[in-house]
Structure 1
């Protein structure tokens, strides 16, 4: 991927040039809003615009402006306005267009059919979510296989890269549900999927930093780079997709054919293609491969990011607190009660694991700012009951990190407390606000309502089993301190961290012999 690196460096250099020329500075005849709202990081001198674009900010109780390298001046909304503004109808506030711009879909997926009919999103929102109980065993099998392949079976300590291994394990599990074997265990396919996702993410980020006047010039270059990465990935999936399409066509022509359609996302995408406006065009093998690639791009990096953060958070706490042992006890109990096999009901019992995941996602949002929207009504939009009215084509975003670290919502917000979301008031079983449940103070999966992440239920299934399999089968050497994320503009990137792991020789004797009494959540687990 040397070519990708060269092109991305070139794009970044031009982006830096556009910053220095003050591309995001409002014009003299700009709407009054740009002079009436507080502006973060900017002084009177021209050169301060350069530094202002690169500075961060803290919590706020009113809208304010921040100059963004990739989207120009952006209005950052406080938590109190999320429902009022983000709940507005699509004719007033745009979601899809902003997301398409963020991913630069015009260049990353130039096929108009892919962008026009988003069949893969229907599959994720409907079939994938509804079939989670059926998919659970397969996902668990792929996660267990992924750990064995990445972390090994040796009971001696072994060094592994957290991000690389988490990404490959999660990708294998996801594709177990997306397309099944042999692709879900094909390391070359999984790594090429990862390469494509990273290429379009970084490329789109840098392309967004450039003035739009340059997009027609540099966009085709970016499209060639992402297209090369896509062809490398689909070269592995094309034979599988072609065979599946042929068998589906035969089965639809003759239902008595000795073949049963698999229950996976690939088959559901094919079924959606048959019901589309132009089935013949949608059913082209390369186009179906592109849709499979699209689903991986969206899910792979975000889920692996959450998995890595949970691992780093958990094993950088004080070992004396025995958080890992408490979670392991819960996993052992749930698996034992399910007869030694992960079922949907067994995963639902992992309430403390759910809380630990929610806490980790709270502490590590994907960026300082996120969930962008754009006011598109010609007359602009009113910001709730405030006197502020945003003009049309104004970009908005939410201060994810500031909200997630707000001490009035989360006391001791900088401390990792895996059981923060557990209700302890003498209940027989711990009650936990599920990670899939969103509110205006937890935005890891988007805002509550229609635009919440449709794949969050499947992602949570993967993450809970990931944590359970890790704790049940491996020991991790504790870190001296929590590695810091890498910041680039508004984004957080996973650090390249190595850890020491080893296969557990068997169940912890302390757990078997009632040692749970020494864990900090013993009262909750026993109902006291």
Structure 2
């Protein structure tokens, strides 16, 4: 007799099949939007191909070429995904309010946030306000700790001999570094170096992505049941309560006894969360969950971004010297400060170019239409209530109509653009700043755009630039296979740097900055 797991799997597959047929044949409001891939019953086959064959990016590029500046749809399991392109549409997309185009609805459908992270986080995202506000305002004050932790983390995690090359599994090593550097700001010393705490935070971040995608394949009605089998959320929270819980409990107790601004209060993310937490959010359990969730956002994107940057740099050794010269020059002029990092414009341009070409997915800005009146673009294109929609970000980034030689990696592309705007238009004006890594524009979408643009991008940029400046001034790097950049991993509509790829590191025989 089949066991419970097999019965559950069989029932779920049947439900998915019925759901996909329902969407394919009944959702007539989308009839005016062209389909790329199969339609009708075969739309289910397209959805499976997108998931399991790595064909999603090519399918979206096909649609983009057929319908530039327009929209099209592809089949997903149980629903259609409408993909939009063109800067005008992107801006209207980003400007739409949450009660019309829902960011939360889009993320929930894909990553099942309420099942993986918890309904509390999914429904009340006040920590995003803390990130956008207090974290960003305190970047200058946090910089010395970030720089110190960058140095210590690379020394400890790379653990290099004095003069010999060492081969390292890159994504794992960088994730470990980012976990320490980020948590220097999130929870401070000594917890940011506690291995139990760090391992648990990293595992939680991995679990959110892996289990969230798995649960996201299933209909909403059975997701709570599926989550019991595929997520280790409760284990992660339990571990975090043991190692982080006492720290938060002490902070709450001191705030109650001495007031919100008690003498000696650490200037870290825990304190900033406490300033914004109200009612039931001022509990150890809920605050631990906020810190875990913030770790997920910080570790996942920053680690992958920096790993991509290392892969791009090691296969372009000619870039090492100009980056070293820039870092050494600005540090000699101002020592290590946040402003010093801001002035590393070549490193900034390189990271922005890596970000442009190494998107985490062929799409961005996933949304769900939640208004009963649907959503209508200014050119008349209409998306009915319940539609899942997004932007063809990768295709737009590679589109030569937006920038010259768009498919080529050009490390100093944005340096030249900034210089051109500075010279020709308004020195020090807004156009120049649109070419910085922190900037969001309608033709550069890694951070999103509009109301839901990544709130942590200012911290992430400071962290990434500090890390890269440290790497180029302290190490030599080269690929494990000479001249070869590791192929990215593609699963469904997610693209990640090769998680098994290795890079060779060696200490530079020069004094430290």
Contact kept? 1:12, 1:206, Cα under 8 Å = no
Deviation at 1:102, TM superposition (A): 3.5
> Within the alignment, does 1:151 sit opposite 2:158 as a pair?
yes
Match of 2:96 in 1: 88
Output the CA distance in 1 between the equivalents of 2:296 and 2:422: 41
**Bigger Cα displacement from structure 2, 53-62 vs 136-145:** 53-62
Q: Secondary structure at the match of 1:57?
A: helix
Structure 1 residue ranges without an equivalent (≥5)? 1-6, 513-528
Deviation at 1:289, TM superposition (A): 1.2
Contact kept? 1:20, 1:50, Cα under 8 Å = no
Map 1:241-390 to 2 at 5 A. 241-252=248-259, 259-273=263-277, 276=278, 278=279, 281-317=280-316, 319=317, 322-339=318-335, 342-386=336-380, 388-390=381-383
Distance change (3 Å), C-alpha of 1:151 and 1:17: farther
Distance change (3 Å), C-alpha of 1:309 and 1:247: same
1:491 paired residue among 490, 494, 501: 494
Deviation at 1:283, TM superposition (A): 2.5
Contact kept? 2:370, 2:385, Cα under 8 Å = yes
Output the CA distance in 2 between the equivalents of 1:9 and 1:409: 50
Contact kept? 1:14, 1:210, Cα under 8 Å = no
> Within the alignment, does 1:415 sit opposite 2:408 as a pair?
yes
Q: Provide TM-score, normalisation by structure 2.
A: 0.87
Deviation at 1:67, TM superposition (A): 1.1
Contact kept? 1:11, 1:206, Cα under 8 Å = no
Aligned residues between the structures: 483
Q: Secondary structure at the match of 1:290?
A: helix
> Within the alignment, does 1:439 sit opposite 2:441 as a pair?
yes
Deviation at 1:452, TM superposition (A): 1.0
Match of 1:521 in 2: none
Map 1:91-110 to 2 at 5 A. 91-110=99-118
Q: Secondary structure at the match of 1:483?
A: coil
Contact kept? 1:66, 1:74, Cα under 8 Å = yes
Contact kept? 2:94, 2:451, Cα under 8 Å = no
Match of 1:207 in 2: 215
Deviation at 1:18, TM superposition (A): 5.9
Output the CA distance in 2 between the equivalents of 1:31 and 1:122: 39
Output the CA distance in 2 between the equivalents of 1:9 and 1:240: 43
Distance change (3 Å), C-alpha of 1:377 and 1:263: same
Contact kept? 2:237, 2:288, Cα under 8 Å = no
Match of 1:515 in 2: none
Distance change (3 Å), C-alpha of 1:150 and 1:64: same
Contact kept? 2:24, 2:43, Cα under 8 Å = no
1:41 paired residue among 34, 37, 43: 37
Contact kept? 1:11, 1:207, Cα under 8 Å = no
Q: Secondary structure at the match of 2:34?
A: coil
Contact kept? 1:369, 1:400, Cα under 8 Å = yes
Contact kept? 2:20, 2:44, Cα under 8 Å = no
1:65-96 CA distances to partner (integer Å, 9 max, x unpaired)? 11123x62011011231112331233322223
> Within the alignment, does 1:189 sit opposite 2:189 as a pair?
no
Output the CA distance in 2 between the equivalents of 1:306 and 1:184: 21
Output the CA distance in 1 between the equivalents of 2:504 and 2:9: 36
Match of 2:146 in 1: 139
Output the CA distance in 2 between the equivalents of 1:15 and 1:481: 42
Distance change (3 Å), C-alpha of 1:168 and 1:493: same
Output the CA distance in 1 between the equivalents of 2:459 and 2:10: 39
Distance change (3 Å), C-alpha of 1:86 and 1:467: same
1:359-382 CA distances to partner (integer Å, 9 max, x unpaired)? 000111110122111222212121
Contact kept? 1:199, 1:229, Cα under 8 Å = no
Distance change (3 Å), C-alpha of 1:14 and 1:183: farther
Q: Secondary structure at the match of 2:451?
A: coil
Match of 1:218 in 2: 226
Distance change (3 Å), C-alpha of 1:111 and 1:160: same
Match of 2:28 in 1: 31
Contact kept? 1:24, 1:73, Cα under 8 Å = no
Deviation at 1:451, TM superposition (A): 1.6
Q: Secondary structure at the match of 1:421?
A: helix
Contact kept? 2:147, 2:466, Cα under 8 Å = yes
Deviation at 1:353, TM superposition (A): 0.5
Output the CA distance in 1 between the equivalents of 2:99 and 2:284: 35
Q: Secondary structure at the match of 1:28?
A: helix
Contact kept? 1:107, 1:220, Cα under 8 Å = no
Output the CA distance in 2 between the equivalents of 1:9 and 1:365: 36
Output the CA distance in 1 between the equivalents of 2:8 and 2:464: 35
